[in-house]
A and B are shown apart, each in its own frame.
Chain A
Amino acid sequence: MSQINRRDFIKAIAAASSASVLTIPSAHAGQTKGRVVVVGGGYGGATAAKYLRMMDGGIDVTLIEANSTYTSCPLSNEVISGERDIKTLEVGYSGLKKHGVKVVHDWVTGVDTAKKVVSTKGGQTYAYDALILSPGVEFNYAAVEGYTEELANTSLPHAWKAGAQTLMLKKQLEAMPDGGKFIIAVPPGPFRCPPGPYERAAQVALYCKTHGKAKSKILILDSNDSFSKKALFEQAWKALYDGMIEWVPGASDGKVIKVDAKTKTCFTNFGDHKGDVVNIIPPHHAGKIARDMGLATFKTHWCEVKPESMEAKAQKDIYVIGDSCIGGDLAGNFGFPKSAHMAMTQAKVAAGAIIAKINNLPLPVPFYVNTCYSVVAPDWGFSVVHVYRVENNTWVYVKEASGISPVTMPDKSPVPRLYRKVEAEYADGWLRNVLADAYS
């Protein structure tokens, strides 16, 4: 992993983006054109808050986030394998403050949609003209019998929210003997980061292969019958980690329904699997606050939104972005992937729509783009791209622009290794740039 010149770039970025902060001040000093409250300072919320201020300096923006440091999930699988220091994934909120965002560290407990007021655990209230919710996901531990939040924090980390659990999983992998078994249980879709579990399997294999544990096995117990970038993953697993990774689809009894923490055993409908390390990714749904507010109109799990603005279908002036929302071409089986890149695209659409509304301007033409890299070895990466246009208030998945990296060349010859190397480097370049675009 190249760590060159990070500081040189950060310095220049700060200078470049401070130039663009010089937006128009409000017409009357001390008065504001509108108040926007953003809940959640992950990729979605941070991007929305920054872009609102960049687009119109006359808007008052308050970001409410529980924690003072955010840890990026993207590329956190490399922390588990030891390829990356978790510090490269951590970011604070000083960059947003420089854009004039008021950052509050507190937990939002409720929203009065009639009075348009947000209230927090700390006893504060914040009035809004527009509210953006980007609360990520809430885990449904009860869906796997025997699994609890406490177990996740103490012995069976899901590490599906990066931070302490990521480091715990790394420690457990390091303690695993050669010939040990590492189980990854994948929940039914849609879940956060569709290629994430399979990238994790590769990173675990990479660690084992390079640390004298090549006899170890990674068992993926999947609730689903297929997965993102499947052909690319299977090709790489075979080329790099032959025989180490086994995938059991839902149709072959892969769905884990129960776990016994003491014996580290995963139970499926008809079988049981004992592991040395057990990594249960529990099913999840929209962030608690969004569900409490009744915005999760899609099977009570996810929040439906309007394509042109990201405004919640269930509530005027409330915009739901990031992992909590659902959108895209659901009928065609091309829903929005739950990714950081997508959350940022949605944030920019929501911010543009809110600024237009406050300034009585026509809505900007929305355009949704996602790029998601997976890294299976330091010099082997690949990606999936999604592009959506909005036509007649509906998302149209642009097939010719979307899809995965080539599995073979058009004449069926192997893909030159340079393609894979370049994309592994792009993954790191992508991370640096999305962190800067959201937080600097």
Chain B
Amino acid sequence: MRRKYTLALLACLGLSTLPALADDSTEALARTCNNCHGVNGVSAGGAMPSLGGQSETYLKHIMMEWKTGERAAASMNRLIKGYSDEQIASLAKYFAAKPWVPIAQKASADVMARGKDVTDKCETCHGATGGQPDDETTPRLNGQSALFLHLELDKYRDEAFLMTHKKMIKSARKMDEKDVGIAAKFYGNQSK
């Protein structure tokens, strides 16, 4: 906990961009991710998810699943094959050390009220706002791109799209079609 805090603080101060570290290959490698996922892994929106501050375990796990072909993706499953297992591990560590920056996107009061109900079952693992994951394999959802969350749920719900997390597959497929967007917006709206 203490270490995580220190790392986050260092990241906040921008110390990870010291010229002394310019030869650090992880830093150079991470710059290739910034194009789509933003500096420090904070996305500028659309369907691109933020990565900074997700747990190291989660990030590494998902990248390795794409690499081995266990899990489908539209483009990351190709791209990630260009990175060695060691590079993947160090990227996971790098982005996990950045602070999680929730971006609260607008949602109507109706959506938020309904959202609270439909995400009732998600709470056990993700926490009330999606920002309290119960373990290291669970991603943060609070202030994540709502469009990204919506598309992820669509993937879990589509039988033809190969996903791996059994519990998520089951829960997502149980949802009512019209609640998918509501759940996504509910989490996208959370600032904490």
Contact = CB atoms under 8 A, between A and B. Distances in A.
A172 interface: no
A366 B29 CA distance: 8
B46 A431 contact: yes
Given A401-B79, A419-B74, A22 B14 contact: yes
A364 B38 CA distance: 20
A20 B14 CA distance: 4
A331 interface: no
Contact of B75 (A16, A20, A23, A385): A385
Name the prevailing secondary structure of the A interface residues. Answer: helix
A349 to B, nearest CB: 8
Contact of B78 (A20, A363, A385, A389): A385
Contact of B27 (A22, A364, A423): A364
B47 A428 contact: yes
Interface in B5-26: 12-14, 17-20, 22-25
A430 B46 contact: yes
B37 A433 contact: yes
Contacts of A436: 38, 44
A421 B75 CA distance: 12
Nearest to B81: A401
Interface in A261-276: none
Interface string A287-301: 000000000000000
Interface stretch (A50-58, A195-203, A246-254): A50-58
Contacts of A24: 18-19
Contacts of A345: 32, 35
Given A363-B23, A423-B74, A387 B79 contact: yes
A416 B78 contact: no
Contacts of B34: 348, 437
A167 interface: no
Interface in B64-113: 74-75, 78-83, 101, 103-106
Contact of B39 (A16, A367, A416): A16
A366 B78 contact: no
A13 B17 CA distance: 17
The range of chain A's interface size is 35 or more
A139 interface: no
Interface in A333-358: 341, 344-345, 348-349, 352, 355-356
B127 interface: no
B146 interface: yes
Contact of B44 (A2, A55, A435): A435
Contacts of A368: 32
Contacts of A418: 154-155, 158, 160-161
Contact of B22 (A4, A5, A355): A355
Contacts of A8: 45, 103-106
B12 A430 contact: no
B40 interface: yes
A429 B103 contact: no
A401 B101 contact: no
Nearest to A359: B19
B14 A433 contact: no
Given A348-B28, A383-B75, A13 B44 contact: yes
Given A345-B32, A433-B43, A401 B25 contact: no
B48 interface: yes
A117 B39 CA distance: 32
Given A418-B154, A423-B74, A433-B35, A365 B161 contact: no
A6 interface: yes
A419 B44 CA distance: 22
A21 interface: yes
B36 interface: yes
Given A2-B46, A365-B28, 9 more contacts: A4-B147, A12-B42, A16-B42, A23-B18, A344-B35, A361-B19, A418-B160, A422-B155, A423-B74
Interface of A: 2, 4-6, 8-10, 12-13, 15-17, 19-24, 51, 54-56, 58, 341, 344-345, 348-349, 352, 355-356, 359, 361-369, 371, 383, 385, 387, 389, 398, 400-403, 405, 416, 418-419, 421-423, 425-426, 428-437, 440
Interface of B: 12-14, 17-20, 22-25, 27-29, 31-32, 34-40, 42-48, 74-75, 78-83, 101, 103-106, 145-148, 151, 154-155, 158, 160-161, 188
27 contacts: A4-B105, A4-B147, A8-B103, A9-B105, A9-B145, A15-B101, A19-B12, A20-B14, A22-B14, A55-B22, A348-B31, A348-B34, A361-B20, A364-B23, A366-B28, A371-B35, A398-B82, A400-B82, A401-B81, A402-B82, A403-B78, A416-B158, A425-B151, A426-B75, A428-B46, A433-B45, A437-B38
